[in-house]
Amino acid sequence: MNEDLKIVDNSIVPIYENQRGEKLINARELHKALESKRDFSNWINDRIVKYKFESGEDFSTILLKSSGGRPKKEYLLRFDVAKELCMIENNEIGRSIRKYFIEVEKRY
C-alpha cells in the first residue's frame, strides 16, 4: 500500500505499522471485513462526521495511483478508531474483529 508501512499482523484485518511504531488499519479493508453493505465512501464519510473523527489525529489519508481515472483515497485509522468503528457496527462480526484488535494490542 505505502512503502512507509509494514504489515505486522494479517489474520483477520491487516494491521500496519508506520515508521513511528503506530499500529494503523486501512478503513477500506476494515469495511470489507465488517461485511458492510454500504458503499465505502458513504460509510467512512458518515462515520467521520457522526463521530467527529479528526484528520491527522484519528486518521490520515493517502492517495494511491490508479490505472486511469482519479487516484484512490485510502484512510488509515488509528487502532482505537478502528476498534470504535467495530463497536458501532453493533453486530457479531464487529465484536469479533474488535476482540481480535484487543488481542493484537496485548501482544504488542
- Is the predicted pLDDT of residue 18 greater than 80, yes or no? yes
Report DSSP state, residue 36: -
Starting from the edge strand earliest in sequence, which strands make up the sheet with 72-78, in order? 6-9, 15-17, 23-26, 72-78, 59-64
Question: Hey, what's the cell of 107?
Answer: 501482544
Residue 10 vs residues 3, 6, 47: alpha-carbon distances, Å? 17, 11, 24
Average pLDDT, the chain: 92
Does residue 65 surpass a pLDDT of 90? Answer: no
pLDDT at 2: 65
Question: How far is 46 from 80, CA to CA, in rounded Å?
Answer: 18
In the prediction, which pLDDT does 60 show? 96
pLDDT of res. 69: 78
For 22-54, how does the pLDDT look when each residue is reduced to its tens digit (9 = 90+)?
A: 999 999 999 999 999 999 999 999 999 999 999
What predicted TM-score, i.e. pTM, was given to this entire model? Answer: 0.90
Sequence-separated (6 or more) residues with CB below 8 Å from residue 13: 25, 29, 30, 33, 82, 97, 100, 101
